[in-house]
Chains A and B, each alone.
Chain A
Amino acid sequence: MTFELSDRVRTVPPSGIRRFFEIAEERDEVISLGVGEPDFATPWAARDAAITSLEQGKTSYTANRGKRELREAIADYVADRFELGYDPDEEILVTAGASEAVDLAFRAFVDPGDTVAIAQPSYISYEPGVIFAGGEVLPVPTREEDDFRLTVEGLEAAGAADADMLVLCYPNNPTGAIMPAEDLEPVAEFAREHDLTVLSDEIYAELTYDGEHTSIASFEGMRERTIVFNGFSKAHAMTGLRLGYALGPADAIGAMNKIHQYTMLSAPTTAQHAALEALDSCANEVQEMVDQYDRRRQFVLSRFREIGLDVFEAKGAFYCFPEVPEGFTAEEFAEEVLREQGVAVVPGDVFGDGGEGHLRISYATGLEDLRKALNRIEAFVEEHV
């Protein structure tokens, strides 16, 4: 017997990263700049809290929405860091990674035929998420000339005024772009004017190197139409613990929780203990990691300029987004630099419209490896360009 795949599953193409992964596996001594997760271990205090919780046998389900103490800590944290006010009882949902929260939001708010505008290039899970929910994707390309920021002109040109929902990801994966308050304001106004629901993935909020992160939910009239996603994977180096959360108005979070309670029941309990400790006592470690990323960011940007590849001045997350030289597509460049020099990078078109001709370089890697990798890229460019 063969399984008859649903249309929704069939229409989603396999991930563009897969093929590169296979080449990398065959080759020795690959330095990977293709990794979208921290190279730091989770701060010790958070790991210790997880261990202690296990020793104490705290291994049962928590409340569907997450441990109350953790929701309170999240409420305090987002109020303190991002001026966001959410009620821990009704407006916060703890999930198995921001990934689960994103999926819940699509399933809770997208009806078949609904149009979801997605600012691109951006994180690869949004588009499949919309399709799995039965919706239609409307790409809204952002351009390097605009610092990969979303503009009202861009939204209008793409036809987003007629969309039902808008997905944002700032600081951005893969470009490293941020949206400062003055650029976010007109987008907020556009969303209000055209009655768009906004999903704002702010998982890289702490990793903002020039100035402070602003959430679109903090603008007037936006809180009631926005779901904010965040989590512990990036700033707290907790990817494998799978813990994230969604913030939004009570009825919206209630709807997401309805799906969550039947599919996930509750986020991993051990991870919730780690997360609580991470918020309570690991701010210094987070700051240290941010400082390290910032140094690496400056190093990588400066090396790309020396190598002679145009590179966008990334100001957030841990990615930078250089242009590939003429004569190469992003995919060709990524494949050849991997085969010849053993440096793994991700072609930008994997991340959607606006990403073509670029590479995503992750600097979540120690400086020694970054230095070696950039020397190898330099050698490659000298030989072929």
Chain B
Amino acid sequence: MSEREVLELLRENARYSAADIARMTDLEEAEVEATIEELEAAGVVRGYQAVVDWDKLEDERVRAEVELNVTLDRETGYDDIAERLARFPQVKALRLISGDYDFDMEVEGDSIREVSQFISEKVAPVPEITQTVTHYVMTSYKENGIELGDGEGDDRLSFSP
């Protein structure tokens, strides 16, 4: 199935051009373009982003994983709470999960202060939220399937039989 293959390749590297993808598959370039357009139009592909190793930059980003517990009532469901939280630009990812808590929220900011303030002033006061536990990210080793850090390097010889 070509959709699946195109998606896999885009997930591997969104900067592969349609020509690159056509070269790697049995598809024509025009077919690849059309497939990508369809996937975008259908909302399957929602966007393209760079995978950044913040540790390599001077101006550090502060990131936190926040556990949220909520109580629901007749009027308010998970989706309502999620919708409200997802609007904040500081929230980079928000997922309803199974287990000890309800939502798993990734927050980003320029300083610890900014992130803490956001959680105490914007998130904690939401009436349905009963508990927040904030974990600051200290080092990231892998993001979006890509290993960060200095990489293992290729220690193969440049020629071998």
A-side residues, CB < 8 A to B, are: 15, 17, 20-21, 24-25, 30, 32, 34-37, 39, 41, 123-125, 173, 295-296, 298-299, 302-303, 344, 346, 367-368, 371
* B71 at interface, CB cutoff 8 A: no
Contact of B24 among A17, A24, A298 (CB under 8 A): A298
B-side residues, CB < 8 A to A, are: 9, 13, 16, 20, 22-26, 152, 154, 156-161
Contact A24 B23 (CB under 8 A): no
| Chain B: CB-nearest residue to A351 | B161
**B9, chain A: closest CB distance, angstroms:** 8
Contact A125 B158 (CB under 8 A): no
Other A-B pairs beyond A21-B159, A367-B16, 15, CB < 8 Å: A17-B159, A17-B160, A17-B161, A20-B159, A24-B159, A32-B156, A32-B159, A34-B160, A35-B156, A39-B156, A123-B161, A295-B9, A298-B26, A299-B23, A299-B24
Complexed CA–CA distance, A17 and B161 (Å): 8
Q: List 9 A-B contacts (CB under 8 A).
A: A17-B160, A24-B158, A30-B158, A35-B156, A35-B160, A36-B160, A41-B152, A295-B24, A303-B23
Contact of A32 among B9, B16, B158, B161 (CB under 8 A): B158
Complexed CA–CA distance, A298 and B32 (Å): 15
Chain B residues whose C-beta falls within 8 Å of the C-beta of A302 in the assembled complex: 22-23
Chain B residues whose C-beta falls within 8 Å of the C-beta of A298 in the assembled complex: 23-26
Contact of A21 among B20, B23, B24, B158 (CB under 8 A): B158
Complexed CA–CA distance, A25 and B154 (Å): 14
Chain A residues whose C-beta falls within 8 Å of the C-beta of B152 in the assembled complex: 41
Question: Chain B interface mostly helix, strand, loop or mixed?
Answer: loop
Contact A371 B161 (CB under 8 A): no
Contact B20 A371 (CB under 8 A): yes
Total A-B residue contacts, Cβ distance less than 8 Å: 57
Contact A296 B159 (CB under 8 A): no
Chain B residues whose C-beta falls within 8 Å of the C-beta of A36 in the assembled complex: 160-161
Chain A residues whose C-beta falls within 8 Å of the C-beta of B22 in the assembled complex: 302
Chain A residues whose C-beta falls within 8 Å of the C-beta of B161 in the assembled complex: 15, 17, 36, 123-125, 173
Chain B residues whose C-beta falls within 8 Å of the C-beta of A37 in the assembled complex: 156, 160
Complexed CA–CA distance, A125 and B20 (Å): 36
Contact A34 B159 (CB under 8 A): yes
**A145, chain B: closest CB distance, angstroms:** 25
Would A39 and B154 be within 8 Å (CB), given that A21-B159, A125-B161 are in contact?
A: yes
Contact of B20 among A15, A20, A299 (CB under 8 A): A299
| Chain A: CB-nearest residue to B152 | A41
Would A346 and B159 be within 8 Å (CB), given that A39-B154, A367-B13 are in contact?
A: yes
Complexed CA–CA distance, A368 and B16 (Å): 9
| Chain B: CB-nearest residue to A345 | B159
**B28, chain A: closest CB distance, angstroms:** 12
Chain B residues whose C-beta falls within 8 Å of the C-beta of A41 in the assembled complex: 152
Complexed CA–CA distance, A34 and B161 (Å): 8
Would A35 and B13 be within 8 Å (CB), given that A298-B25, A299-B24, A371-B20 are in contact?
A: no
Chain B residues whose C-beta falls within 8 Å of the C-beta of A125 in the assembled complex: 161
Complexed CA–CA distance, A302 and B152 (Å): 30
**B83, chain A: closest CB distance, angstroms:** 38
Contact A344 B158 (CB under 8 A): yes
Would A21 and B157 be within 8 Å (CB), given that A295-B25, A298-B23, A302-B23 are in contact?
A: yes
**A376, chain B: closest CB distance, angstroms:** 15
Chain B residues whose C-beta falls within 8 Å of the C-beta of A21 in the assembled complex: 157-159
| Chain A: CB-nearest residue to B156 | A35
**A283, chain B: closest CB distance, angstroms:** 19
Chain A residues whose C-beta falls within 8 Å of the C-beta of B23 in the assembled complex: 298-299, 302-303
Chain B residues whose C-beta falls within 8 Å of the C-beta of A30 in the assembled complex: 158
Contact B24 A35 (CB under 8 A): no
Contact B25 A344 (CB under 8 A): no
**B159, chain A: closest CB distance, angstroms:** 4
Complexed CA–CA distance, A371 and B24 (Å): 11
The 3 closest A-B pairs by CB, nearest first: A302-B23, A295-B24, A32-B158
Chain B residues whose C-beta falls within 8 Å of the C-beta of A173 in the assembled complex: 161
Complexed CA–CA distance, A11 and B17 (Å): 51
Complexed CA–CA distance, A296 and B23 (Å): 9
| Chain B: CB-nearest residue to A362 | B160
Chain B residues whose C-beta falls within 8 Å of the C-beta of A20 in the assembled complex: 159
Between A39, A125, A302, the greatest number of chain B beta carbons within 10 A of the residue's beta carbon is seen for A302
